[in-house]
Amino acid sequence: MKPAFVFGTRPEIIKLAPVIRAFLDRGVKPLLIHTGQHYDYEMSSVFLEELEMPPIDHHLEVGSGTQAEQTGLAMIKIEKVLRDERPDVVLVQGDTNTVLAGALASVKLKIPVAHVEAGLRSFDRTMPEEINRILADHASEVLFPPTEEARKNLEREGITKNVYVVGNTVVDAVLQNAEVAERKSDVLKRFGLKPKEYVLVTAHRAENTDSRENLERLIEILEGLPIRAVYPMHPRTRGRLEEFGLWERVASIENLTVTKPLGYLDFLKLERNAFAIMTDSGGVQEEAIILNVPCLTLRYNTERPETVAAGGNVLVGLEKERALRYLQRLLEDGEFYRKMAGAANPFGDGKAGERIAEILMGLHERGELMVRG
Ligand code: UD1
Ligand code: UDP
């Protein structure tokens, strides 16, 4: 069997690594196609190295651009590779422009697409990710929603065939790496942080960083933090802060350490030892509940509502008063803290990667892996 993986950003590498490993463990060598949507060392290569991925077979160097430029160029380049390689299936993960490009290029060549982390919906069509998710799901032949809730979203849109609830591969990634991170990373020492005495912050989403007004609201929250904080900053956010002349203001916040994006082992260790996490990241919301760290999400909606229902995540948006009130409550109310930290992980048992490989190999063996007429 010849599976191909199309990926291009930090979270895709992290969440596909367990699936790639599961194929390798079963004696199948997958074809790896990296679009180059993320290209800085600390947004891409560091993860390929830390997660001990095999060499990339095709590096497409698509880079940054407008939505259409990035998606269009990726499609053109992916199509060329798929034409030559003719894999049995193309796996994509999540909701980036790389995912949309991979799914569209593939299905139009009649190569079946398998979508890992299918069925997520924020119901906010102003997010580029929401459009990517919906279109990728509808272009896919095999769908791997992480939860029953995600499966129901697919059902509501009429997608019921070849849908397998397998859990989220992020659990596999965390379980495979958290202990290694704890042993190997010296990140707490490097930043002079003590366990459970700091807040970990990440924010990069377009709706939070593309407007000066929203960036200022984010900064006001950071300025009000009553506890030490560390913020590994996505290059998008750094770029926008500089563009709007707001970088100096962030850099001068006393309680706050801003760093470049960190490798996975350092970041996992920071997450696990944080008092709380404030983020607009999808993957970080998931990892917080897996690692039993309370999460305050800097958004008004989430495509991971399971984390909120379980009690481990609160949507605070960019509302300073709300965000700081919740943080203060976590600091003062031990019972509330334990309740949030103790929320049950809704994303499965860490065997999603193995299930995905098994299911796809089974479909292939039975001759059922195809784009149907
Ligand atoms: C993309 C995804 C988002 C995901 C995020 C993961 C889309 C529409 N968005 O957002 O869903 O959460 O990846 O991190 O696909 N840049 C660099 N170096 C890099 C990569 C990007 O400097 O290695 C800068 C460039 O200025 C670029 C900007 O970041 O224009 C945005 O990058 P892009 O890939 O377009 O989107 P992300 O914000 O990374
Ligand atoms: N991450 C990392 N280093 C960082 C920030 C995040 O390794 O400095 C990891 C994090 O553990 C998670 C993933 O990157 O697995 C999340 O990526 P991101 O927030 O960029 O994207 P999203 O999940 O929002 O699509």
Taking only the tens place, the pLDDT of each residue in 41-89 is: 999 999 999 999 999 999 999 999 999 999 999 999 999 999 999 999 9
Q: Is the pLDDT of residue 372 over 90?
A: no
- Please give the Cα distance from 14 to 169 (Å, whole number): 9
pLDDT at 233: 98
Q: Is the CB of 326 under 6 A from ligand 1?
A: no
Outline where DSSP puts E strands in the chain: 3-7, 31-34, 58-59, 89-93, 113-116, 142-144, 199-202, 229-232, 256-259, 276-279, 295-297, 313-315
Q: Is the pLDDT of residue 244 over 90?
A: yes
Q: What is the pLDDT of residues 200-224, one digit of tens each?
A: 999 999 999 999 999 999 999 999 9
pLDDT at 31: 98
Q: Is the pLDDT of residue 138 over 90?
A: yes
From the CA of 204, give the closest atom in ligand 1. Answer: 38
pLDDT at 203: 98
Secondary structure class of 280 (helix, strand, coil): coil
CB 222 within 8 A of CB 250: yes
> Average pLDDT, whole number, for the chain?
98
Q: Is the pLDDT of residue 115 over 90?
A: yes
Asked if the ipTM is above 0.85, the reply is: yes
Task: Give the closest ligand to the alpha carbon of residue 235.
Answer: 1
Q: Is the pLDDT of residue 373 over 90?
A: no
Q: What is the pLDDT of residues 83-106, one digit of tens each?
A: 999 999 999 999 999 999 999 999
Q: For domain 179-341, give the fold.
A: Rossmann fold (3.40.50)
Q: How far is the CA of 33 from the centre of ligand 1 (A)?
A: 18
Domain with CATH 3.40.50.2000 in the chain: 3-168+349-365, 179-341
CA-nearest of 185, 205, 368, 178 to 281 is 205
Q: For domain 3-168+349-365, give the fold.
A: Rossmann fold (3.40.50)
Q: Is the CB of 15 under 6 A from ligand 1?
A: no
